[in-house]
Amino acid sequence: MVLKRFTLVPVLLMLAGCNITVLNPKSATGKDQAFLIWFSFGLMLIVLLVVFFLFFRFVATYRYTDKKANFIPEDVHGNKWLELTWTILPILLLIVLAVPTVAITYNQSPISEVLKKDEAVQIEVEAQQYQWTFTHEGGKTSNQALVIPEGKTIRLQLKSKDVIHSFWVPALGGKVDVMPHKDLYYEIKNPEVGTYHGKCAEYCGLEHAKMIFTAKVVTEEAYEQYVKE
Ligand SMILES: [Cu+2]
């Protein structure tokens, strides 16, 4: 027990250095994901509090004392209401958790075909060992930076030249597997101006760690200019 308490210290110190951008989202897509994290965390916290409350109450109420040395509890055969409670409550909790999870997951899942024409800004993202190539509208390409306009729906056409990679910009959205022989379209909605880190989130070979890039969200005018340059 003592050992456990002390091993926790370096772990907490390590976490203190983490910049958890997933919890500081800068796009509608990222915000939905962060909402799911906090929502499930909140539900878990409620369960945890109830369990701990009951645990300590029972420990306090039913602890052994000299007075109870010869106490033999009454035999009971189940309790219909208690059993119904601990069956129905978890089912309700799971339903409450499932509704937003399914809605957001379906809403964000990548699609293999775009059927409708819309206003989305389309950018081709090609992954290969060990770099990304972003082809913006009008044919402008870059290996270092994905440049996108703020406040729009950005539709990324994800392609892989070789193995499975995973596209991830923690502050904006992802992770989405990038598959060879199968293009996927993934949308990032309503990004906010800023420069964010992007990476490959699927181990893809010896130099996988070098598969990083920057995602720059710029104003619409700056984007128009970047594409024309
Ligand atoms: Cu990769």
| Ligand 1 centroid – CA 91 distance (Å) | 39
| Cβ partners under 8 Å of residue 170, min gap 6 | 21, 22, 30, 196, 197
Architecture per CATH, 11-64+81-229: Sandwich (2.60)
Angle at 215 between CA 209 and CA 218, to 5 degrees: 165
Residue given tokens 């809403």 in the structure block: 107
List CB-based neighbours of ion ligand 1 within 5 Å.
165, 200, 204, 211
| Cβ partners under 8 Å of residue 204, min gap 6 | 127, 129, 130, 162, 163, 164, 165, 211
| Ligand 1 centroid – CA 203 distance (Å) | 6
- Lookup: tokens for 21: 């951008």
Count helices and strands (H / E) in the chain: 4, 10
Give the strands of the sheet with 194-200, arranged side by side.
145-149, 212-218, 194-200, 165-169, 173-178
| Ligand 1 centroid – CA 128 distance (Å) | 7
Domain ranges (residues) in the chain: 11-64+81-229
Using the Cα atoms of residue 116, residue 120, residue 123 and residue 125 in order, give the sign of their dihedral.
negative
Using the Cα atoms of residue 202, residue 204, residue 210 and residue 212 in order, give the sign of their dihedral.
negative
| Ligand 1 centroid – CA 168 distance (Å) | 10
| Ligand 1 centroid – CA 127 distance (Å) | 7
User: Which backbone phi and psi does 85 adopt, to 5 degrees?
Assistant: -60, -50
What pLDDT does 67 receive?
A: 83
Measured CA to CA, the distance from residue 47 to residue 197 in angstroms comes to 35
| CB half-sphere exposure, 151, CA atoms < 13 A | 4
| Ligand 1 centroid – CA 156 distance (Å) | 16
What pLDDT does 204 receive?
A: 94
What pLDDT does 138 receive?
A: 85
User: Which backbone phi and psi does 217 adopt, to 5 degrees?
Assistant: -100, 120
What pLDDT does 72 receive?
A: 84
What pLDDT does 31 receive?
A: 95
What pLDDT does 8 receive?
A: 75
Segments of the chain scoring below 70 in pLDDT: 1-6, 16-19
| CB half-sphere exposure, 35, CA atoms < 13 A | 15
Cβ atoms 184, 110 nearer than 8 A: yes
The conformational region for residue 195 under phi > 0 = left, psi -120 to 50 = alpha, else beta, is beta
Using the Cα atoms of residue 216, residue 222, residue 223 and residue 227 in order, give the sign of their dihedral.
negative
| Ligand 1 centroid – CA 209 distance (Å) | 8
Nearest to 32 by CA among 140, 110, 128, 108: 108
